[in-house]
A and B are shown apart, each in its own frame.
Chain A
Amino acid sequence: MEVLLFTILTLCALGVLAAVVLYFVARKFRVEEDPRIDEVEKMLPGANCGGCGFAGCRGMADALVKRDDISALFCPVGGSACMKSVADYLGKAAPEKEPQVATVRCGGTCAKRPRTNEFDGAASCAVASALYVGETGCSFGCLGYGDCVAVCAFDAIRINPETGLPEVDADKCTACGACVKACPKGIIELRKKWPKNRAVYVSCVSKDKGAVVMKACKAGCIGCGKCAKVCPFGAITVENNLAYIDPQKCKLCRKCENECPTGAIRLVGMEPLPKEPKAPAAPKAAPEKPAAAPKAAEAAAKQVKAE
């Protein structure tokens, strides 16, 4: 019994002693940390995706509190709303950025882009692209092994087994940019996110000459420049045999889509403009058309203003 008592008392005494030592040590070496960092961290989404450029949300919170000018910091997951609440709390100017969405710029589906060989190496885009051109004749297009899918922390990107191409779920995508970095072909781009997930973009990144593109893929951009000529906003540039629609200038008027001979320009969430009547067989469509086009343009312009 005595042994037990001594043991308990000794341990208690040691515990009290250690507590006293620790108390003074803690006071002496106390690190003053801004309590606002914790608060800001709670406001951030907590996804720790690295989309802001920091290793995790804690690092971002630390930077937000410590830096005077936070205009360069932005959490793509939380978006403007989150940044505004953080900025209000800290009393700093809120960084603003329009919402973005990852866009896969390749339309080379299994049907449009025939396979010329079979790859039996490690199923990784990085490995395949380091080795050779890929299973099709296009050296710029999607390889389809899903490196982008593997890095997505939000389950927002999937390979469609029918097309063999990745598809982005715009509602889930936070524009963290992980897939953009993972794609060895540089196909994925963060583009402006329109309401109702509408989009117009050139679904091709091939810089090959037209004839070479046509041989490898029926859906590729051949750099003909028809879209650039028809664009009323000067949003389309053709460089290195490839058209590019500037998301900042584009107003979703959809005129370019009708011009594209290969269908490389893709519309999402919108009906294409009615085509101009080629034969007099469609007299009814003719009077409607001029009315419809300005309306669409107006609607698009309104949406821009609403932004």
Chain B
Amino acid sequence: MKTFPIGGVHPSENKLSGAKPIEVLPLPDVVTIPLSQHIGAPAVAKVAKGDKVLTGQLIAEAGSFMSANIHSPISGTVTSVDLVPNGQGLRQPMITIKREGDEWAEGIDRSETLVRECDLPAQEIIARIKAAGIVGMGGATFPAHVKLSVPPGKKAEVLIINGVECEPYLTSDHRMMLEHGEEILVGVTILMKALGVQRAVIGIENNKPDAIAHLKGLAGRYAGIEVMPLKVQYPQGGEKQLIAAVTGRQVPPPPALPIDVGAVVCNASTTYAVYRAVQKNMPLIERVVTITGKRLTAPKNLLTRMGTPVLTLIVAAGGLPEGDVKVINGGPMMGRAMVNLDSPVTKGCSGITVMSGRDAVRNEAGSCIKCAKCVAACPMGLEPYYLSKMARRKNWEVLEEQMITSCIECGCCQFSCPSYLPLLDFIRLGKQAVMGIIRARAAAAAPKK
């Protein structure tokens, strides 16, 4: 069975909600919609305080090519467009909407009937995806229309659908593939058409045999789609790792992109959103969020409108457990701990993990014993112990030389460290600094042209 060639770890899977069907969370009374839910420029608000909005109505427009539209997830009145603390407590521009009834904007097909045929040209498909504000829903939130607009001189050869879900605890993609397999496959054909490729591979880790069997059974009807079981290994859901696992090709270090090796990767949930956007004219206003944790009474998968406060989801899963808890936006490996539970579910939020008791606190850090377990675990072939040390010393030149910008922040190094060193904390810091230096250098060089 295939997997990526270097590094990786295998944390306990803890897929507590894997067998729980998707439930629909009741409409929230108030939503807060951040203008920046994606990589790139923030969206520009198109509504002001007091405006009436309908469900699915455009409320913020993409700020540049590398940006995404945002639509209202509920109908009601805009109560403010202001700075609101996000999950990390940092104040960001957000639109707050108070719900009144449930009225939808015109032209959105809300029926569940499957529409297989799509005769649109590639340009029109990409335009619809752009209009619907679709971004990568696995967590990276890269605007989908940017990914699909293959730059001149490059050619896409294979479309890879990411159904890996290697992050422990999370099961939203798993449930999507089981319950909306047919729609995902139609989505794949649409994406293949947009990219002009003849081959698509759906990569699924073999800890989801039901999803593999289900999609394999359905894929027979569609030409060029292959379902590929993959060996369970974290971080296989990383774009570069998945490309290596499926095609055997290595994406060169940044600024190279997957398209340089002829691959385009798209998450399974994103593919479903693409299907809905193109065939049903449905903007991206809801997603499936896994709400999970060992001490939660009812871990589950909830179909949630964007902007719903995280606390609402936790309450729906039985409320916060007693004692020390750490609420993580995402999974335990790559997710970010939250300090503000009133912060909203966003386009990239695939799960909320509630760690409790001993799981909630880090072990005390010791000293580096130079065992090189982090080097063996790094899926990008970096030397995390050295990067961390140099980041502590603020030696940015060495960090740049050592390719710190290749780091995908998967956390394998920190996970494997027997001294519990906060390796990734410092590497992330160093990466930010080096990327800042690179950007400043590019900006300084640009006007001379």
A-side interface residues toward B, CB under 8 Å?
116-117, 120-122, 124, 126-127, 130-134, 137, 139, 208
Q: CA A210 – CA B425 in complex, angstroms?
A: 33
Q: Which of A120, A126, A137 contacts B362 (CB under 8 A)? A: A120
**By the criterion CB–CB under 8 Å, are A116 and B339 in contact?**
yes
Interface flag for B91 (CB, 8 Å): yes
Contact A132-B339, Cβ < 8 Å, known A121-B362, A137-B89: yes
CB contacts between A and B, total, < 8 Å: 44
**By the criterion CB–CB under 8 Å, are B339 and A130 in contact?**
no
**By the criterion CB–CB under 8 Å, are B429 and A126 in contact?**
yes
Across-interface contacts of B361 in A (CB, < 8 A): 120
Contact A127-B422, Cβ < 8 Å, known A116-B339, A120-B362: yes
Q: Which of A121, A130, A132 contacts B432 (CB under 8 A)? A: A130
Q: Which of A121, A132, A133 contacts B422 (CB under 8 A)? A: A121
Across-interface contacts of B63 in A (CB, < 8 A): none
Q: CA A67 – CA B362 in complex, angstroms?
A: 54
Interface flag for B336 (CB, 8 Å): yes
**By the criterion CB–CB under 8 Å, are B428 and A208 in contact?**
no
Q: Which of B90, B336, B425 contacts A122 (CB under 8 A)? A: B425
**By the criterion CB–CB under 8 Å, are A127 and B425 in contact?**
yes
**By the criterion CB–CB under 8 Å, are A133 and B339 in contact?**
yes
**By the criterion CB–CB under 8 Å, are B426 and A133 in contact?**
no
Across-interface contacts of B90 in A (CB, < 8 A): 132-133, 139
Interface flag for B85 (CB, 8 Å): yes
Chain B interface: which size bin?
10 to 19
Contact A132-B89, Cβ < 8 Å, known A116-B339, A120-B361: yes
Q: CA A130 – CA B88 in complex, angstroms?
A: 10
Interface flag for B337 (CB, 8 Å): yes
Q: What are 16 residue pairs bridging A and B, where the CB atoms are less than 8 Å apart in the complex?
A: A116-B339, A117-B339, A121-B362, A121-B422, A122-B422, A122-B425, A127-B425, A127-B428, A130-B429, A130-B432, A131-B425, A132-B88, A132-B337, A133-B89, A134-B89, A208-B91
Closest beta carbon of chain B to A129's beta carbon, Å: 9
CB under 8 Å from chain A, chain B span 315-340: 336-337, 339
Q: CA A120 – CA B361 in complex, angstroms?
A: 7
Contact A133-B88, Cβ < 8 Å, known A124-B425, A127-B422: yes
Contact A121-B89, Cβ < 8 Å, known A116-B339, A132-B337: no
Contact A122-B88, Cβ < 8 Å, known A131-B336, A133-B339: no
Q: CA A137 – CA B85 in complex, angstroms?
A: 10
- Further 11 A-B residue pairs, CB within 8 A, beyond A120-B362, A121-B422: A121-B425, A122-B425, A127-B425, A127-B428, A127-B429, A130-B428, A132-B89, A132-B336, A132-B339, A137-B89, A139-B91
CB under 8 Å from chain A, chain B span 66-117: 85, 88-91
Across-interface contacts of B362 in A (CB, < 8 A): 120-121
**By the criterion CB–CB under 8 Å, are A122 and B85 in contact?**
no
CB under 8 Å from chain A, chain B span 389-438: 422, 425-426, 428-429, 432
Q: CA A254 – CA B336 in complex, angstroms?
A: 45
Across-interface contacts of B85 in A (CB, < 8 A): 133
Across-interface contacts of B88 in A (CB, < 8 A): 131-133
Closest beta carbon of chain A to B212's beta carbon, Å: 37
Q: CA A120 – CA B362 in complex, angstroms?
A: 6
Q: CA A131 – CA B432 in complex, angstroms?
A: 11
Nearest A-chain residue to B340, judged by Cβ: A133
CB under 8 Å from chain A, chain B span 246-260: none
Q: CA A5 – CA B111 in complex, angstroms?
A: 107
Closest beta carbon of chain B to A16's beta carbon, Å: 45
Nearest A-chain residue to B363, judged by Cβ: A120
Q: Which of A122, A132, A137, A139 contacts B426 (CB under 8 A)? A: A122
Q: CA A133 – CA B88 in complex, angstroms?
A: 6
Across-interface contacts of A137 in B (CB, < 8 A): 89
B340-362 interface mask toward A, CB cutoff 8 Å, 1 = contact, 0 = none? Answer: 00000000000000000000011
Nearest B-chain residue to A209, judged by Cβ: B83
Q: CA A52 – CA B337 in complex, angstroms?
A: 40
Q: CA A124 – CA B424 in complex, angstroms?
A: 13
